[in-house]
Each structure stands twice: as C-alpha cells, then as structure tokens.
Amino acid sequence: MVNLSIFTTRKHAPVADAVNEAGGRAYALSDKHALAQYAATGCLSNTFYTTGQGQLDAVRALVGKVNGEFVAKAAVYTRQHSHMKDMPALLLAELASRDGELLEKVFGRVCDNGKMLRNFVQIVRSGATGRRSLGSRPKRLVRQWLERRSDAQVFGDSVGNDPALTDVLRMVHPKPTTDARRALYGYLLGRQHDAAALPECVRTFEDFKAGRSDLVPDVPFQLLTGSPLRESAWRAIASRAGWQMLRMNLNTFLRHGVFDDAALTKALAKKLAAPEEVRKARVFPYQLLMAYKQADTKVPKKIRDALHDAMEAAIHNVPAVDGQIYVLLDVSGSMHSPVTGHRKGATTAVRCIDAAALIAAAFLRKNRDTEVIPFHDKVVPCKIDGHDSVLTNAQRLAKLPSGGTNCAVPLQELNRRKAKGDLVIFVSDNESWIDTRSTYRRGTQVMEEWGVFKRRNPKAQLVCIDIQPGATTQAPDRKDILNVGGFSDDVFSLVAAFARGGLAGEHWVRAIEAITL
C-alpha cells in the first residue's frame, strides 16, 4: 500500500513560507499587510517576542518596500481608526524624509492634537528616520498647525515634555499675528511679554495660582495639581473634565470628595455612559476594562454602572452575525505580557490576554449563540454566560491558566465534535509553535484543520485578530480568511464588513488603500 501521507488525494494546506518569532511554521504577510500590522499594534516598546528597536527596524524596512502613498494612508488609518500614537507619528516622520508632498496632505490628519505633534517632532529630531532637523517644509507645517490652534488650545498643548511645546516653539519660530498670541508665546518661553495682553485663560490661571481669585480656571488638569486644592476646586475640575480624564482619575476624584456631591456624581456618570462621548474619546475598549478593575470599591455604584454602559457604546461596532460563531481565545504565556509592551516607567497594567478576553466577551455579548473556546497548548474548559456583562466575562476569561501555544488545538476540538459553524475568530498573538513538530506537514496545522472544518462547513469564514506586532500569520488571506491587527473598536467594523462579504482579496490592506488623501 502506498504512503497516504504523501500520495493522498486530500487537498493540502498551502506551503508555509516563513518562521514566526516563536520559531514556528507560518505564512509571511505581504509588505503592505505587515506594515499595517506593525502600525496598528506596535508601540515601539519591548514585547514578549520583539523589542522596540526591532519594531522600528522592521517598520523602516517595510516603508522602504511599499509606495509612499500607502505609507501616508497607513498613517492616517492607524491614527483615525486604530487610535495609535507612536506609529502614525513614525510613519509621518518617514514621509518627512521621503515625500514632502504626501507629508503635507496628511500632516493635519495625523497630528490631530498637541501630543501627536510633539511625538512627530521628537521622532524627527532623534535622527531615527534619517534626519535630525525638521527641515523647511516640516517647520512650515508645524507653524501652520500652531496658527490654526486657538490661544486656549495652545496653552493646553503646553502640558507635556520630551519635547515640551516650548522646545517646538524654539525650533520653528512661529510668527504671532495677534497681541494675545505674541504675549502667550513670550509667557510660555519665559521671555518678556505684555501680561495685560495674555489670553483670558492664562490670566485666570495666573490669578488662581497666585491666590488672587477662587475661580478655578478652565485649563488642563495637570496645570492645577502642583499645589494643594480645596474640595470645591476638585469638584470644579471634575465637572469640566473631558471623558478620558474622567475615566483615568476616578480614584483621584474619590479621594478628594468629588463623589460626595450627589448631583455632580449623577452628571459625571451620565457623561461616562454617553455613547457620543465614548466614541469622541476614541477609547480602547480595554481601557474601560482597566478603569473598572482599578476603581476603588468606594467609587459610587452609579459610576461603576456607567462604565458598564460605556462599554456597550465602545463595542457598538461588534457585528451581529447570523449563524454559529466560535471565538478561539489564546490564553498562552506570551498573552500575559503587557499589550503595549514594556517601557521603563510607562509599562501598562493591561495584558494581551485582557484585550483578547474583552474581544471574546464582546462577541458573546452581541451574539448569544457564540461559543468561546480558550486554548494554549490544549483547550481550556471555561463556562461563561452571554447574559453576563462584557466586563464580568472579560475578567473571568483573563484569569484562565496559561501554557504553550498551539493555535490548531481549538480547531481540532471543533473537528473532533464535527461542529457546524459560520464564523470562526482567533484572538491571539499568532505565535504558534507546538504544532510545527510534524516533519511531513507542508503548511501550518491551523490551515490543515481549517481545511477539514471547511469541507464540513463550505461557507464558513475565518478571522485572525492579531494584537501584537509581527509579520507572519497562521492562516494567509484569501476569500474566506481575514487577517487584521489591533485592539480598537475598528477591528469589529472590519470583521462586520468581512462577514457581510464586503471585503475581498487582501481585506485589511484594501480598507487602508480606500483612504482618500
């Protein structure tokens, strides 16, 4: 009898053409797709499998392989849709060295606040992208950016360092067009200026700081907390706080008596839960999970309930899909590393597993027939109820034990059951390695098992959501397979479009290429 492992009539998975960071068999993403993956997940910090420098080197190499138009579109997409900060600024800095016309087209769309502007300036002046000075065109763009900002916005932008706004002002030498702006620049730079001509927001701030007024100025929170504040001042600060500031300072406001005011507490809860505020804040859903987990038990129930409501708004893009959904949740060891990587003094408490568990819980919330199958080197039993809140289920899933990584095992389990299904979603860092030990297999075991599943479910679709930077996948893009990276709610929109049949080919790359410059 012939060797059926060689002379089989069964259709084989495509031959793997890459090795992933864990040493496992994998498929290489196209240059454009790999750049998108790094841009949507990379924070230029050390992750479980790569370093911040490694990410920088990979991105720069990929930028050199794709056309400038795609770099510009990826910068806009990952800022406006993926809500990233460092990577869009890096892509903008690459354009500053390569294509000034494209830089002009997208500068204002990527540098949409003071923090993004400072990120761009710091990356350029670091020399990491080939130059150490801004150059005439970038300087002009920064000056124009400053001119479009109101006096109050420029004063607010003065919060932050490395570089500070004052460093930027010294680099670009903006020409003030009003007495108020001239006085403001002098004030910020520590130079002689006409105090009477200062914008009202600055004069109010100086009066408050000097004790000449009890009126709490409407200025960034960070400018006010350098000296002790009365409870009434903290309440004024809280009442004017932006959505993100409110989310990040619940325990601070608790300590300073803000929530002792019932009417104010009710108003703050309403702001937290408002769908339009949540969307405007461009919040990552996992940030709400961490706010909920870290909130002191004494934070009022109204506020905690508002976080649940805010989560519902944050996951509004999760598609309702007809048919059976399986979410395959990677809980392996590498998934317990910080989702945005390790950075001295700035390592997030949010792990990859927290973000992944939240995605799984979100699909379960919107699609009650969804089955979540956690796995590492084997399937991990876990019972969760779709009627529970997203936050509750996400915390339960994130506590599961870890192990090695074999992305094929949940598909093997579905095939063992002869399961029927319409949409299968992996949420992982894609670094499968245990399933590569076979010497006869040509492709990944994930693709072998997906082939078995497809023969039983010919219309089924597979989505691989990768939440870490990398250039490989366990299942290459094709008509029935979508690879997408990131942890913003835009991932849900892409999955929805894919499930409806609205994407084709290199699905995510096409979505980025659809950006209008």
CA-to-CA separations, 410 to 384, 424, 487, in angstroms, rounded: 17, 10, 22
Check: CB of residue 188 under 8 Å from CB of residue 202. no
CA terminus-to-terminus distance, the chain: 62
The predicted pLDDT at position 215 comes to 87
461 forms bridges with which residues in the sheet?
Answer: 423
Check: CB of residue 390 under 8 Å from CB of residue 293. no
Q: What is the DSSP letter of 196?
A: G
Sketch the domain layout of the chain as residue ranges: 18-26+317-513
Distance CA 278, CA 497 (A): 22
Query: What strands lie across the sheet with 325-330, from one edge to the other?
Result: 371-375, 325-330, 423-428, 461-466, 481-485
The predicted pLDDT at position 265 comes to 97
Q: What is the DSSP letter of 52?
A: H
The predicted pLDDT at position 149 comes to 96
Alpha helices in 241-389 (DSSP H): 243-248, 250-255, 262-273, 275-280, 285-294, 301-314, 352-366
The residue among 507, 445, 439, 510 whose CA lies nearest residue 474 is 445
Q: Which two tokens stand for residue 431?
A: 């670094």
The β-bridge relationship of strands 472-473 and 25-28 is antiparallel
The β-bridge relationship of strands 481-485 and 461-466 is parallel
The predicted pLDDT at position 497 comes to 86
What is the maximum alpha-carbon separation in the chain?
A: 97
Distance CA 65, CA 209 (A): 53
- Say which amino acid occupies 75: A
Instruction: Name residue, tokens 């000296």.
Output: 227
What does 420-439 look like in DSSP terms, one character per residue? --SEEEEEE-----GGG--S
For residues 313-352, one letter each, b for 16 or more C-beta atoms within 10 angstroms of the residue's C-beta and e for the rest, the string is bbbebbbebeebbbbbbbbbebbebbbbbbeeeeebebbb
Distance CA 179, CA 199 (A): 9
SS3 485: strand
The predicted pLDDT at position 438 comes to 58
How many C-alpha atoms does 391 have within 13 Å on its Cβ side?
20
The predicted pLDDT at position 345 comes to 64
The predicted pLDDT at position 343 comes to 66
The predicted pLDDT at position 203 comes to 95
The β-bridge relationship of strands 371-375 and 325-330 is parallel
The predicted pLDDT at position 194 comes to 96
Distance CA 167, CA 119 (A): 12
Length of the chain as a residue count: 517
The predicted pLDDT at position 214 comes to 85
What is the value of pTM for the model shown? 0.88
SS3 249: coil
The predicted pLDDT at position 10 comes to 55
User: pLDDT tens digits, residue range 462-517?
Assistant: 999 999 989 999 999 999 999 999 888 888 888 888 888 866 657 889 889 999 99
How many C-alpha atoms does 279 have within 13 Å on its Cβ side?
9
Low-confidence spans in the chain with pLDDT less than 70: 1-11, 343-348, 436-441, 502-505
Please state which architecture CATH assigns to domain 18-26+317-513. 3-Layer(aba) Sandwich (3.40)
